[in-house]
Structure 1
Amino acid sequence: MPDLLDRYPLTAGTYHEMLQSDGSVRPHWRRLFERLQRMTPAQLNHRQALLARQIQENGVTYNVYADPKGADRPWELDLLPNLIDASEWDALAEGVAQRATLLNAVLADLYGPQHLLSKGLLPPELVYGHSHFLWPCQGIQPPGGIYLHVYAVDLARTPDGRWWVTADRTQAPSGAGYALENRQIVSRAFPDLYRDLQVRHLTGFFRTLQETLSRLAPHGHEAPLVVVLTPGRFNESYFEHLYLARQLGFPLVEGGDLTVRDATVYLKTLGGLRRVHAILRRLDDVFCDPLELRTDSALGVPGLLQAVRLGRVLVANALGSGVLESPGLLGFLPKVNEHLFGEPLKLPSVATWWCGEPPVMDQALQKLDSLVFRAAFTSQSFAPVFGRDLSAKRRQALVERIQGRPYAYVAQEIAQLSQAPVWQADAGVLLPRAIGMRVYAVASEDGYRVLPGGLTRVAGMADAEVIAMQRGGASKDTWVLGEGAGGLEQWRAQRTLGLSDLVRRDPYLPSRVVENLFWFGRYCERCDGIARLLRIILARYVEDDDPQALAGAVALAERLKLLPEEGDLQSRLLVALLDPGWAFSLHANLRSLHGAAAQVRGKLSRENWHALVELQRDVETLDGDTPALGEVLDFLNRLLMSLAALSGFALDDMTRDEGWRFLMVGRRIERLQTLSTSLAAFVRQPAAFEAPNLGWLLELGNSSITYRSRYLAEPQLIPVLDLLLLDDQNPHAVLFQIKLLGSSLRRLADDLSTPRDKTLKPLIERLGHFDLGTLEYSLFGVASTQAVLEGLAELLGDIVEASARISDRLALRHFAHVDGVSHGTVSV
């Protein structure tokens, strides 16, 4: 293989992580470099592809708000780790722990005696003017005096190799979960090297987080219940919320899953209310309580702040901690640390000038060309502006803007970011990219413990000066070398479990999760039914050899409102299939299926989720230009196979707990409604007796093979109705589904101690008494037959209405927790 450094530019005035100023490889990088030098580009590409495949299979995503297809965007991870020598790391970790201790003390003062403000060590404008300084939190004392349970700091290197702080993350620091996932993936790409370099493990950090939250939670003599509070699946780092909840063993909840009763926080579970003792929040503090904080928040928990105020629940990080994320505070922290602890800060901040002081503003504006200007408050809509890039007109506009509200802006020295090698698979070369590193600390009984590693973020473009995942950046694993335990990361249980700890059901299953499992089941069946009918129409339209069958299938689709009314058949079909803006389209229902699945991702196996991702990609391949009908028909065939796989996963992969039962009840209600609605509409058609129509009806009911193997004859009305209506051994028959639904509902009633309902029993009896012989020996000819079929259609309509009422009742009792007494019997 050619030398990896042949095309690797060494930029003067920039610190290179791998190379010294003379171009030689740094000592702690040599072993990795030698390993890479012995590999061919094809081998490196193969390992990079393995990383990408692992990310896809694990469902690691990062949502980009500005990208219309940014939801569930695959996480970007470079093959090469970023290496840091042990001695360098130890000094860096001391500085991070010191800074976390300082910022915790600053929060204690700001929400307590406020000596730092009264002594002029911090400007009141930067504190009181910040939207995340929360007056309702004044005087609240968190358990153990800990405000910052998790702290993160963004670091960059100076050209001479020293580390400096570019930003503090104190509100709900993100990225630690991604760092752990990066480690799990990259360490498997280089297992021998990972072991030989004795890379320090990350898992102790997360065990400490578990222990801290459980120890500080006000739980009395109860076993503490800790939950992870997420804004929901549309948040940029939702995967990390889910991943952390899994790793820590805490339920992942949204604001609607929690309720406050008598200043106590409860989780709304399927089995009732369970007290919550601690909340690890991934939600901005102002959104956490719409009663006392941001009143328009639909993400928080009304009354949460009162529960915190009375010491009934721990919130980590403490509400109001976001005030410290103002970059304007960076320049004041060195003196604050000397005042509070009598020692200098070990980690300097990037040179920062707050423009709220007139002499400082004048000095900053004089050096405008060499500085970058930022908003002092996170609530401002102001992207960083590099003074050197401004035209004379824009420069004057910036000056006037700063002079108009000087307290709202800060000026910073432009950080010359260090560069690390990344593998460019398409070109087969190593190239340098600017990097920054986010390092994490967690509160423990002995002070702050620093994660031995972190999230190295990589610029997306070669000339980028700002690193942001929202701007297309990637990531690297961070390896701290020396004194590692050897071997791969091992995650250990928080405590030893014995016989008395055994459980066979999830005691903290949120009602929202159950509701989404229910609708996940319904949308699976709904998409299957829509896809089958549209495939029937499309196949006969393309083949153009059975106009009678095509007309009958189109008439059914129109009666079921699955085809728009306007346009020729081809355009109507494409709208019904692919138009996301039409509420009844297959595309819209597949999007709803994916949305419900995303809400219950923690309950789905990796294979199940992967099948959903592949299904979503199949849909996206048809976006854009109008596809050929043959291509759409092929898509429908693949789609039905994918939906069948989802059904198989539900039957084989999921534990038969209450969540699974609600999923299956959802599927059975939807299938019962689809079968009954379709049959009722079909028997009302004038051509119900015709073999071509009966043929596609069997196809719609997924029973064509069963019919052919039983009768060896063309489809006829009586045996087709028997198979799709009364055969209690056929899972696609109405009688089979209604009996199975009744059995499932009785089981739920027994498990959840709710009374039973007799809604389905009379309908089962009426269906069981239906006599197909009345169609064979009708006394009054066609009129008599039509009367019988009309009676059957009315019975099927009653079944549809009954199943809809059952669905509503289940939602009221188990999802909305509405008292069944005021809404009729909710039993089954």
Structure 2
Amino acid sequence: MNRLSKADAQVKVVPLPQDGSGGDLLLLEKQLSNYRGLNGTYDEAVTKDGTLRDGWPKLFENLGTLSVRELERRIAQAQRQIDAEGVVFNPHDDASEISRPWKLDPVPLVIPEAEWNGVAEGLAQRAQLIDLIILDFLGPQTLLREKVVPPELLFANPQYFPAYHGLVNRPIQHVQLYAADLARDPSGQWWVTADRARSPSGLGYVLENRLIASRMLPVAFSNGNVHRLASFFMTFQRALRDLAKRYRDNPRIAIWSRGTKSKSYFEDAFLARYLGYTLVESDDLAVRNNRVMLKTLGALLPVEVLLRRLDDHRCDPSELTSGSDGISGLLEVIRSGNVAVANSLGSSYAEAPMLAAFLPAICRHLIGQDLKIPSVATWWCGQPHGLKYVQENLERVVIRSAFRDRDEAPLVPAMMTAEQREELSAKIAATPQLFVGQERITRSTTPVWDAGQLKPWSVALRAFMVAKDDGYYPLPGALARVSPDADALLQDMTSGEKSQDVWIVARESVPIVSLLSVDGQQAELKRGGSELPSRVADNLFWFGRNLERAEKIARILRITLQQATGEDATSSGLSRLPEVCSLVKQLDGDGAVEGISVKDLIQRIVRGAMDLKNPASLRNVVNLAHGSASKVRDRIAIDSYRIVTELKEQFETQIAADEDGPYELLWLLDNAVQALSAISGLASESMTRTLGWRFFDLGRRIERGAQTVKILTTLLPLQPQGLTPALEASLKICDSYMTYRGRYLAHVDLAAVLDLLVVDDSNPRSLAYQLRAISEHIDALPRSETQAGISVEQRLALSTYNSVRLCNVYEVSVPDNRGELSALHKVLSLTATRLPKLADEVSNKFLIHAGLQRHYSRGLGADGNG
């Protein structure tokens, strides 16, 4: 251990200067030397006399060379990265609740390797014990027969289903992934506050914490002999692979998620990308011929292993909870041995807080040992002595439900009024079997950077174990949550204010392990693409459409505001741009523009574009694009997701419709156009040309073509008069102004504009280019081998493309004998009619399995409210 010098120990904490003077020169060394834990607690970093505990000196030495200002800069940079990657969590597991941003403290929690090995040994014993309990509960039930536990522990559990009994014959492990929530008391003793065996969450956040922390403190991390995490995940992959009955060298393994409504969706997507597994939802899966099949555009593909993230009772609505979002018939497939599910259904029995009261006796009965890491003292009120103790010591315990139905904060009688405690006591006495009392532990503290100072905050840990051979292998790290209020950590691991990376440090250098390590087996070369679930195709399709729609709206509003805020702005000079803004539903009010003044137009645009109550507003279209991206974040480039997330956050700013409003909105529109163009560029350069890219690009092309038709139809009326401003506006909205100037200099001619925007298929912004791309995409979609001729959607795409390609721009730009551009509008009208039909045909054939169909005619913009 290292003792802080007496001189350093006398240095007072100097808060971060508020005026900025000297802040960049203030070294953290002064803060570190003054840090102390709280009286009556065990501090993870220092002893009561200020001595650094084993493992911490090297970290403090590296931190001490940083200035406060430099540390704050790194914190801000790390938080921007966290926000850009969309790292959030919803502690309520409810889509109606607002997700909270993830916050990572810069100071890691350090635990010496020797100490962690002792913790891991104790947790390996508990993991094995929990697995044996589940094996017994789902099989012979000797614990009940020999009265080691009361029957209520199993049969009174709301999660109990007879269908779990004998569901799977697995002599080795039912629990592939185990987690334990840990707390350390003032004596330094570790206690388990909860066991997690259903589908423990937190691994994704552990990985994200390590990624961010190692970048925030690169020198401290590289010099700290910190154990890497990859070896644990390699073991996890092997554990899942060993469950497969077929193709054990490379089985199809899927992470089965509840989707974006789940609090764990971020880490579901993160783990799917990191482990290389397919992320699926229930709608992606179906039971066919007693096998679980992945519904893809190419075929139904068998799934060998499901890493489930759903609650046990949600997994099969036909045998378990009716109306749940699981897979009908799943249990029968499990019984047949045709699919493996990790962890086994029924493993939630081990999460009942009531179990902790009997765990010591169970451990001695099943494995003839005492618990190496004990559970926090627990009394089940269903036993007379337990009820008596809890009632007599109500202010010294916390009250939990005997069974874990959902994550609920425990009741803390010590924080209640006398009247509230009496009501609680009466409630417990009325139904004692439904409650347990648990000892209220004084948690350990650890250094946390808060408001420019190091402060001791209470800490909760979640440690993980993975099945390996006949035992369990520990994660050389953990998920840490910290809070200045220890009671805030009582609920679960999503409580607390911040997280910390946990460094298990060795005395010597540690090997660097990568998940991408080659094990000597030669991979079979593949070209992917057909294994695309319909739900993913649907979301990629609408991601593309909403991106394109947002970009087109942004360009329309930008050119309109630029002209409306110019020094010579007049209503007549705006041509028909107000009508276009009304067409795409970006005007506040009823959409009427006849006789509108320039000032009124500006105010209505500012209000309309940012209106959350208007489903078609630009702000809501950006939100829709972000929503689609969130559902396929494991399929798109990380940079694309970051960009659309940042854009969504920018649009959350309220812009007042005052004299500064239009200029603020113009700045936002410029950013939007740049961001949306960047995503298109990333897709063009980064996405492999598989079906996923085709559906994304197909959505973009259909939307761009439809919007181009609407813009030209509106800006070029039947009876053309003074077309020059309208033609220039069309070129700018369609991002072809500079191309036109390069070809024709200053002269603006209707035929030349139509050639560039309608029939020139070398222009990526032209209507013909979109229709050609649409036809090529549709020709490449999966077809039945027995199909004769071309399909309906192929015929629609080809005929629409040909009608535009054969258009003679000289002929359609000449008014008829009534002075109208009837030939031009006939071509545009035909395309406007066929594109919605084409989109619906694609949806009917390929995207119908994705859930409620979203018809083109119900899209946003001019077509409806979506």
What is the deviation of 1:27? Answer: 3.1
Partner secondary structure for residue 43 of structure 2: coil
- Once structures 1 and 2 are overlaid, which stretch shifts more, 214-223 or 161-170? 214-223
Partner secondary structure for residue 687 of structure 2: coil
Contact 2:410 2:491 in 1 (8 A): no
Please show how residues 127-206 of structure 1 align to structure 2 within 5 Å. Answer: 127-206=154-233
Deviations 1:45-101 (A, max 9, x none): 344345335434555433455999986754322222212223322221111011111
Match of 1:97? 124
Q: 1:490 to 1:689 in 2, by over 3 A?
A: same
Match of 1:650? 683
What is the deviation of 1:771? Answer: 3.5
- Once structures 1 and 2 are overlaid, which stretch shifts more, 534-543 or 511-520? 534-543
What is the deviation of 1:195? Answer: 4.7
What is the deviation of 1:607? Answer: 2.0
Q: How far, CA to CA, are the matches of 1:123 and 1:316 in structure 2?
A: 27
Determine whether 1:377 maps to 2:400.
no
Match of 1:115 among 114, 121, 142: 142
Q: 1:765 to 1:514 in 2, by over 3 A?
A: closer
**Structure 2, gaps ≥5 residues long:** 1-26, 592-599, 851-866
What is the deviation of 1:280? Answer: 0.6
Q: How far, CA to CA, are the matches of 1:196 and 1:73 in structure 2?
A: 33
Deviations 1:137-171 (A, max 9, x none): 11122444421110000010111001011001111
Please show how residues 658-669 of structure 1 align to structure 2 within 5 Å. Answer: 658-669=691-702
Please show how residues 193-272 of structure 1 align to structure 2 within 5 Å. Answer: 193-219=220-246, 223-272=250-299
- Once structures 1 and 2 are overlaid, which stretch shifts more, 743-752 or 791-800? 743-752
What is the deviation of 1:279? Answer: 0.4
Match of 2:596? none
Match of 1:763 among 795, 800, 804: 800
Query: Which AA in structure 1 matches 2:822?
Result: E
Q: How far, CA to CA, are the matches of 1:688 and 1:305 in structure 2?
A: 70
Determine whether 1:804 maps to 2:836.
yes
Query: Which AA in structure 1 matches 2:447?
Result: P
Q: 1:371 to 1:282 in 2, by over 3 A?
A: same
Match of 1:358 among 359, 384, 407: 384
Deviations 1:707-753 (A, max 9, x none): 33333335343332232222232222222322232233223358999
What is the deviation of 1:522? Answer: 1.0
Please show how residues 669-684 of structure 1 align to structure 2 within 5 Å. Answer: 669-684=702-717
Match of 2:371? 345
Match of 1:411? 437
Partner secondary structure for residue 283 of structure 2: helix
- Once structures 1 and 2 are overlaid, which stretch shifts more, 566-575 or 145-154? 566-575
Contact 2:90 2:97 in 1 (8 A): yes
- Once structures 1 and 2 are overlaid, which stretch shifts more, 789-798 or 228-237? 789-798
Q: 1:67 to 1:445 in 2, by over 3 A?
A: closer
How many residues matched?
809
Partner secondary structure for residue 795 of structure 2: coil
Contact 2:87 2:266 in 1 (8 A): yes
Query: Which AA in structure 2 matches 1:536?
Result: I
Q: How far, CA to CA, are the matches of 1:32 and 1:222 in structure 2?
A: 42
Match of 2:320? 293
Match of 1:520? 543
Determine whether 1:479 maps to 2:506.
no
Q: How far, CA to CA, are the matches of 1:681 and 1:50 in structure 2?
A: 46
Match of 2:467? 443
Determine whether 1:393 maps to 2:426.
no
Match of 1:595? 627
Determine whether 1:333 maps to 2:359.
yes
Match of 2:304? 277
Q: 1:779 to 1:598 in 2, by over 3 A?
A: closer
Q: How far, CA to CA, are the matches of 1:272 and 1:471 in structure 2?
A: 43
**Structure 1, gaps ≥5 residues long:** 819-828
Q: 1:805 to 1:753 in 2, by over 3 A?
A: farther
User: Greater helix share, 1 or 2?
Assistant: 1
Query: Which AA in structure 1 matches 2:290?
Result: A
Q: 1:169 to 1:606 in 2, by over 3 A?
A: same
Q: 1:467 to 1:777 in 2, by over 3 A?
A: closer
Q: How far, CA to CA, are the matches of 1:49 and 1:558 in structure 2?
A: 41
Query: Which AA in structure 2 matches 1:129?
Result: A
Q: How far, CA to CA, are the matches of 2:108 and 2:236 in structure 1?
A: 25
What is the deviation of 1:635? Answer: 0.8
Match of 1:540? 563
Deviations 1:661-706 (A, max 9, x none): 2211111111111112222333345455432222222222222222
Q: 1:275 to 1:750 in 2, by over 3 A?
A: closer
What is the deviation of 1:487? Answer: 5.5
Query: Which AA in structure 1 matches 2:318?
Result: L
Q: How far, CA to CA, are the matches of 2:387 and 2:824 in structure 1?
A: 83
Partner secondary structure for residue 174 of structure 2: coil
Q: How far, CA to CA, are the matches of 2:721 and 2:401 in structure 1?
A: 71
Query: Which AA in structure 2 matches 1:793?
Result: H
Match of 1:79 among 101, 106, 116: 106
Q: How far, CA to CA, are the matches of 1:281 and 1:485 in structure 2?
A: 36
Contact 2:111 2:505 in 1 (8 A): yes
Q: 1:772 to 1:305 in 2, by over 3 A?
A: same
What is the deviation of 1:221? Answer: 7.3
Q: What is the aligned-residue RMSD (CA, Å)? A: 2.8
What is the deviation of 1:315? Answer: 0.5
What is the deviation of 1:467? Answer: 6.6
Contact 1:459 1:468 in 2 (8 A): no
Match of 1:305? 331
Partner secondary structure for residue 758 of structure 1: helix
Query: Which AA in structure 2 matches 1:206?
Result: F
Contact 2:489 2:496 in 1 (8 A): no
Q: How far, CA to CA, are the matches of 2:811 and 2:419 in structure 1?
A: 89
Please show how residues 362-761 of structure 1 align to structure 2 within 5 Å. Answer: 362-379=388-405, 383-424=409-450, 426-427=451-452, 429-459=453-483, 461=485, 464=488, 466=490, 468=492, 470-482=494-506, 486=510, 488-493=512-517, 495-498=519-522, 501-506=524-529, 508-543=531-566, 545-550=569-574, 552-563=576-587, 565-566=589-590, 569-570=601-602, 572-622=604-654, 628-684=661-717, 686-687=719-720, 689-713=722-746, 715-748=748-781, 756=790, 757-761=794-798
Contact 1:143 1:217 in 2 (8 A): no
Partner secondary structure for residue 587 of structure 1: helix
Query: Which AA in structure 1 matches 2:310?
Result: L
Query: Which AA in structure 1 matches 2:386?
Result: V
Determine whether 1:316 maps to 2:339.
no
Q: 1:778 to 1:283 in 2, by over 3 A?
A: closer
Q: How far, CA to CA, are the matches of 1:683 and 1:638 in structure 2?
A: 29
Query: Which AA in structure 1 matches 2:252?
Result: L
Q: How far, CA to CA, are the matches of 2:814 and 2:195 in structure 1?
A: 84
Q: How far, CA to CA, are the matches of 2:148 and 2:734 in structure 1?
A: 76
Q: 1:367 to 1:235 in 2, by over 3 A?
A: same
Contact 2:185 2:444 in 1 (8 A): yes
What is the deviation of 1:106? Answer: 0.8
Determine whether 1:126 maps to 2:153.
yes
Q: Structure 1 length normalisation: TM-score?
A: 0.91
Q: How far, CA to CA, are the matches of 2:692 and 2:785 in structure 1?
A: 12
Contact 2:396 2:414 in 1 (8 A): yes
Contact 1:458 1:467 in 2 (8 A): no
Q: How far, CA to CA, are the matches of 1:82 and 1:619 in structure 2?
A: 37
Match of 1:792? 824
Q: How far, CA to CA, are the matches of 2:816 and 2:172 in structure 1?
A: 88
- Once structures 1 and 2 are overlaid, which stretch shifts more, 666-675 or 189-198? 189-198
Q: How far, CA to CA, are the matches of 1:144 and 1:549 in structure 2?
A: 81
Please show how residues 22-41 of structure 1 align to structure 2 within 5 Å. Answer: 22-41=49-68
